[in-house]
Structures are given as structure tokens and as C-alpha cells.
Amino acid sequence: MPKVVSRSAVSSSTDAKPTASAAAALRVYYCICGEFILVIEKSLAALPRRRTDSAYIIRCRENETGKAVVFKLNASPCAAPVLVERSGVYERQYGFSCPRCNLLVGYQSTPWPVKSGPYLYILKGALTHAQGQVPKDALERLEANQEEPNSAT
């Protein structure tokens, strides 16, 4: 039986101090209205972006480019998918919107529910890291798409 030296146990306990444990690294993102939308293991800023619309790309499944990103999305599926045309190529987007204010926050190219396809896209400027704070790129987004969602009156 190997002798367990208590000294090593002491030193290992200091080594084991969690510098970046999974729980501590979780990031939370909110809609501009303050609703909690996304909890994710890494910062949106660390994610790759789409060339077409600069949306953040969240990998839902492990594939040849890497491991799946751990996240949970708190958003409602939109009523119907949207067909988007980009230089002759059509893409069907299944959107997700904020459950409180209905603002579109992201989409995927496969039918709902979330994570049914390889990627989920989070719209640039849709989410903010700090509750009640407008993301830096939100105005850019409004300029790019002048159609502001009006509350039904």
C-alpha cells in the first residue's frame, strides 16, 4: 500500500484552486429590455462571426472544427421562418425572440427547437452583458435595418 504523505495533500489543495472553473466562466446575456436571454460558457466576443451579417456563431454540436459550446437560450421561437436572400443564395432562418419584448435575438437554419442544427446565430447588437445596458453595437444594427419593431397599436 502506498504511503500517503499529508504534505503533498496540502500543496495540492493550493494547486487545485479553481482559476477558471466552468461555473465561474459562465456568461449571462440580457436583451436590451432587461430579460435574461442567454447563459454561455464563453464570451460572445470570443465567438466566431458570420461574414454575411456579423452574427455570433454558437456551435451546438461537436464537429470537425471543434467542440460544442455549452449554453442555454431563453428565447421564444418566432411565428414562422424567414427566407433571406444573399446574392442569389437563399437561407431559411428560424428566429428566436425575446419572451418579454419580442425583439429578435438570434436564429438557426434548421427548424425549432433550439440546437436542432449545427449552429445557432446570435444577432449582432441584440444582447448585452450587463442588465439594463444597451450593447455598443446596437445602434449600428438599427441603422442597418431601419424597420424598428413597433408595438402593435
- On whether the CB atoms of residues 16 and 87 are closer than 8 A, the answer is no
Closest CA to 137 of 35, 18, 53, 12: 53
Q: Which of 25, 35, 84, 129 binds Zn ion (CB under 5 A)?
A: 35
Using CB atoms within 10 A of its CB, is residue 53 exposed (0-12), middle (13-18) or buried (19+)? middle
Of 31 and 122, the one with the shorter C-beta distance to Zn ion is: 31
Q: Which of 25, 57, 101, 138 binds Zn ion (CB under 5 A)?
A: 101
What CA–CA distance (Å, rounded) separates 149 from 152? 9
Q: Which of 100, 134, 140, 142 binds Zn ion (CB under 5 A)?
A: 100
Of 47 and 101, the one with the shorter C-beta distance to Zn ion is: 101
What CA–CA distance (Å, rounded) separates 97 from 37? 9
Q: Which of 29, 30, 31, 127 binds Zn ion (CB under 5 A)?
A: 31
44 is a contact residue toward Zn ion (CB under 5 A): no
Where do contacts with Zn ion occur on this chain (CB under 5 A)? 31, 33, 35, 98, 100-101, 103
